[in-house]
């Protein structure tokens, strides 16, 4: 029997560490034979963490979910006695299991399966076969690029640019006297609600290393760098170990696997600027400068790190590479749509029943992801919108649920594929507030270099601020639109050029909500504090006093067992009462 605890950051945050420690203590004490305890990364089912995978002696998997420290004894009993019925209550429901079974996992193929801290486990699961194949069968860099070309792999960081095209450009670029080329991995994952890159590094770091090795071989780089945000300490630890292990085994360093190909890999921790996810700003930061974008052209393939030809892809892109080399580009291209091949990972979050990481073939509809895999909206509420692409993306309404996941199709809606953030909203989410949230993010994360982004996002935010505060003016929507288009045309980098997208899609799909804020000073979703009033439905209130006890402003009065009232003059609109009420008596107008 084998117990594998899911110990990605998400699992650890939910308490997996305590479960592991307890299991370890119990096993150490009794030291039963035939019971192993191991770890794995995140399998994507964040909504069920902590997760313990129990493999029985036949190798069959029993997935135990929402495992608490106190459950460890029960699990210990089950594995030591062999009576697995003891943990029946912890087993994943068949409905929840659909979350994984409906997915097609390539980038995440080993995440939540293998031990991320074991190179042997990676090798046992077919790891390093791609680089071995290349170096042993004499595939030239051009052959490798051609294979990637066949796969149709496109940049998963957001822009969706052809990976083969970029590799070829870097391959063909003249490195000049210096002679060096660089391969860089962008692991500065910064979109709010996106965490697939972290999951890959924490759960399958060798997959990233191998993908980068293939890339380095293809473009002719002897130095590879992973630029990872410092807020991912676990990822950095696991990647560092993986690099050390791979170097020790001869997968990194000089004359890899006895070939002429040499490549080192190192980590550079980013200091937390969102804009450093933009490739040229990332390069500036790598060079030790302030993280601000450079003008393109020249593209990094021509003049990147230290002005040498450089290739930058993101984590998910590299994570697909080894699979493509082993299984062939055609197998990858067989999945997806005409314009978008393969699979894409989405980080599903928000008011969804089953949130987590989802990898599905391109061409799947948003509806399938949200309702079939994600299980639809939580708490029996209505679907209102889905936010794609984070601060660079947009919110799509129910009418767009049948849009297929495809770079072009999503782009046509005004949202973008982005890095794969998918935040689901229900009827209680104010779309104006949502647009304001993302703009607040970009305005704060603007590096300050170009005028359109530095001041344009600030002024847009001020307009949205006054709208959500009930001080919107007629003409504000038009003013916003005008600014949006000017910023899209004038901003220097992707951050600024896409910053207006959340606002533009809100104007496009939720204009009536914006107009209600401006013309009627009302927030239809009941979320904008300045525009709402809390009151207690006298017919529903039973006088349980729960709300009054939670009210920090002492704004609620009433006798026990008789309906209560909120004094709007005292109410600070914190919403505690609404959360506290179990009878739906606290309402907002």
Partner 1 sequence: MSIKYTIDGVEVIAEPSDTILTSATKAGIDIPTLCFDARTAIYGACGVCLVEVEGVPKLLRACSAKPQKGYVVHLHTPRVDRARQTALELLLSDHTGDCRGPCKLNCPAMTDCQKYVGEIREGRYKDAVSTVYEAFPLPASIGRVCPHPCEDACRRKMVEEPISIAFLKAFAADKIEADGNPYVVQCEPETGKRVAIIGGGPAGLTAAYFLRRYGHEVTIFDQQPKMGGMLRYGIPEYRLPKAVLDREIQIIADAGVKMVNGVKLGRDVQFDALRSEYDAVLLALGAWKSMNMRVPGEDLAGVHGGIDFLEKLGLGERPVLGERVAVCGGGNTAMDCCRTAVRLGAKEVYVVYRRTRAEMPAADIEIEEAEEEGVTFKFLTNPIEFYGEDGHVTGMKLQIMELGEPDASGRRRPVPVEGATEDIPIDDVLMAIGQGADCEGVDAELLTQRATIACDELTFRTAYDNVFAAGDVTNRGAGIAIQAIAEAQKAALCINNYLEGDEVRAQIPYFVQREVTPEEFEDRPKQKREKMPGLTPEERRDNFEPIYFGFTEEQAQREASRCLECGCHDYYDCRLIRFANSFDVHPEKFAGEMHDREDVPVVSEVIVHDPDKCVLCGLCYRTCDQVVGKTFLGLYNRGFSTVVNPMVPDEARTFCASCLKCVEACPTGAMRSFPAVERVTQLV
Binding flags for partner 1, 529-568, as an x/- string (CB under 8 A): ----------------------------------------
Q: Which two tokens stand for residue 293?
A: 């974008």
Q: Is 444 in the site for partner 1 (CB under 8 A)?
A: yes
Rg (C-alpha) for the chain, rounded Å, is 26
Q: Which residues contact 525 (CB under 8 A, 6 or more apart)?
A: 384, 427, 428, 429, 430, 431, 433, 513
Stretch that binds partner 1, among 236-244, 359-367, 415-423, 458-466 (CB under 8 A): 458-466
Q: Is 446 in the site for partner 1 (CB under 8 A)?
A: yes
Q: Is 486 in the site for partner 1 (CB under 8 A)?
A: yes
8 A C-beta contact, residue 491 and residue 293 = no
Q: Is 171 in the site for partner 1 (CB under 8 A)?
A: no
Q: Is 504 in the site for partner 1 (CB under 8 A)?
A: no
Cβ proximity to partner 1: between 61 and 451 the closer is 451
Q: Is 145 in the site for partner 1 (CB under 8 A)?
A: no
Which letter does DSSP use for residue 297 in this model? S
Q: Is 447 in the site for partner 1 (CB under 8 A)?
A: yes
Q: Is 525 in the site for partner 1 (CB under 8 A)?
A: no
For the CB of residue 510, give the shortest distance to partner 1 in the complex, in Å. Answer: 24
Binding flags for partner 1, 265-284, as an x/- string (CB under 8 A): --------x-----------
**Segments in 90-232 forming alpha helices (H):** 94-101, 119-124, 129-137, 141-151, 163-172, 196-203, 205-219
Question: Angle of helix 315-327 relative to helix 129-137, nearest 10 degrees?
Answer: 50
Cβ proximity to partner 1: between 181 and 449 the closer is 449
Stretch that binds partner 1, among 24-32, 49-57, 388-396, 490-498 (CB under 8 A): 490-498
Cβ proximity to partner 1: between 18 and 169 the closer is 169
8 A C-beta contact, residue 79 and residue 87 = no
Distance of CA 443 to the CA centre of its chain: 21
Stretch that binds partner 1, among 184-192, 228-236, 288-296, 310-318 (CB under 8 A): 288-296
- The residue among 125, 109, 187 whose CA lies nearest residue 345 is 109
Q: Pick from 457, 505, 506, 576: which binds partner 1 (CB under 8 A)?
A: 457
Q: Pick from 290, 540, 561, 582: which binds partner 1 (CB under 8 A)?
A: 290
Cβ proximity to partner 1: between 201 and 493 the closer is 493
Q: Is 60 in the site for partner 1 (CB under 8 A)?
A: no
Q: How many CA atoms lie within 13 A of 345 on its CB side?
A: 31
Q: Is 386 in the site for partner 1 (CB under 8 A)?
A: no
Cβ proximity to partner 1: between 242 and 460 the closer is 460
For the CB of residue 298, give the shortest distance to partner 1 in the complex, in Å. Answer: 9
Q: Is 471 in the site for partner 1 (CB under 8 A)?
A: no
8 A C-beta contact, residue 293 and residue 278 = yes
DSSP codes joined into one string, 31-60: --TT-EEEEE---S-GGG-S-EEEE-TT--
Stretch that binds partner 1, among 256-264, 287-295, 350-358, 369-377 (CB under 8 A): 287-295
Cα–Cα distance, 583 to 539 (Å, whole number): 10
Cβ proximity to partner 1: between 258 and 297 the closer is 297
Q: Which secondary structure element, helix H or strand E, spans residue 195, and what is its range?
A: none
DSSP codes joined into one string, 518-561: HHS---TTS--GGG--EEE-TTT-----HHHHH-TT--EE--TT
**Dihedral sign computed on CA atoms, order 522, 525, 531, 533:** positive
Chain residues in the site for partner 1 (CB under 8 A): 273, 290, 292, 294-295, 297, 443-452, 454-459, 462, 479, 482-483, 485-487, 489-492
């Amino acid at each position: 029997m084998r117990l594998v605890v899911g110990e990605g950051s998400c699992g650890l945050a939910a308490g997996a560490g305590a479960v592991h420690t307890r299991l370890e203590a119990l096993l150490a004490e009794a030291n039963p034979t035939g019971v192993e305890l191991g770890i794995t990364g995140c399998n994507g089912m964040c909504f069920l963490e902590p997760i313990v995978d129990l493999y029985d002696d036949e190798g069959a998997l029993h997935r135990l979910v929402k495992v608490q420290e106190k459950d460890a004894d029960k699990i210990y009993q089950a594995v030591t006695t062999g009576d697995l019925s003891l943990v029946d209550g912890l087993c994943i429901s068949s409905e929840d299991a659909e979350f994984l079974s409906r997915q097609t996992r390539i980038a995440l193929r080993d995440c939540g399966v293998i031990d991320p801290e074991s190179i042997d486990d990676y090798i046992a699961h077919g790891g390093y076969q791609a680089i071995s194949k290349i170096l042993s069968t004499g595939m030239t860099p051009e052959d490798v690029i051609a294979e990637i070309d066949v796969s149709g792999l496109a940049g998963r960081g957001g822009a969706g640019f052809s990976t083969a095209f970029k590799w070829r450009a870097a391959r063909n670029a003249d490195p000049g006297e210096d002679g060096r080329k660089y391969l860089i991995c962008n692991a500065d994952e910064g979109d709010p609600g996106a965490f697939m890159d972290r999951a890959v590094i924490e759960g399958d770091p060798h997959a990233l290393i191998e993908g980068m090795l293939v890339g380095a071989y293809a473009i002719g780089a002897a130095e590879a760098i992973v630029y990872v945000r410092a807020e991912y300490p676990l990822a950095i630890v696991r990647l560092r170990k993986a690099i050390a292990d791979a170097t020790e085994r001869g997968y990194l360093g000089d004359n890899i696997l006895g070939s002429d190909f040499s490549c080192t890999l190192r980590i550079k921790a980013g200091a937390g600027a969102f804009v450093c996810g933009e490739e040229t700003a990332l390069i500036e930061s790598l060079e030790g400068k302030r993280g601000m974008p450079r003008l393109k052209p020249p593209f990094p393939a021509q003049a990147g790190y230290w002005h040498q030809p450089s290739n930058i892809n993101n984590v998910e892109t590299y994570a697909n590479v080894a699979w493509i080399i082993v299984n062939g580009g055609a197998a990858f291209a067989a999945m997806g749509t005409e314009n978008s091949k393969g699979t894409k990972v989405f980080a599903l979050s928000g008011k969804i029943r089953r949130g987590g990481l989802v990898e599905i073939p391109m061409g799947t509809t948003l509806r399938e992801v949200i309702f079939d895999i994600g299980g639809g909206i939580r708490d029996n509420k209505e679907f209102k919108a889905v936010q794609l692409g984070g601060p660079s993306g947009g919110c799509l309404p129910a009418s767009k649920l049948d849009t297929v996941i495809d770079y072009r199709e999503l782009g046509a809606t005004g949202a973008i594929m982005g890095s794969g953030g998918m935040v689901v909203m229900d009827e209680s989410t104010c779309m104006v507030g949502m647009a304001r949230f993302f703009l607040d993010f970009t305005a704060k994360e603007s590096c300050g270099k170009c005028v359109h982004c530095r001041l344009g996002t600030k002024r847009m935010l001020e307009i949205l601020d006054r709208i959500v505060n009930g001080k919107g003016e007629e003409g504000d929507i038009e003013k916003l639109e005008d600014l949006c288009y000017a910023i899209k045309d004038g901003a220097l980098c992707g951050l600024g050029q896409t910053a207006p997208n959340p606002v533009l899609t809100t104007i496009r799909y939720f204009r009536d909500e914006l107009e209600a804020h401006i013309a009627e000073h009302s927030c239809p979703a009941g979320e904008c504090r300045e525009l709402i009033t809390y009151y207690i439905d006298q017919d529903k209130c039973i006088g349980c006093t729960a709300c009054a006890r939670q009210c920090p402003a002492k704004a609620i009065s009433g006798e026990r067992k008789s309906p209560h009232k909120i004094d709007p003059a005292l109410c600070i609109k914190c919403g505690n009462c609404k959360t506290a009420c179990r009878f739906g008596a606290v309402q907002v107008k």
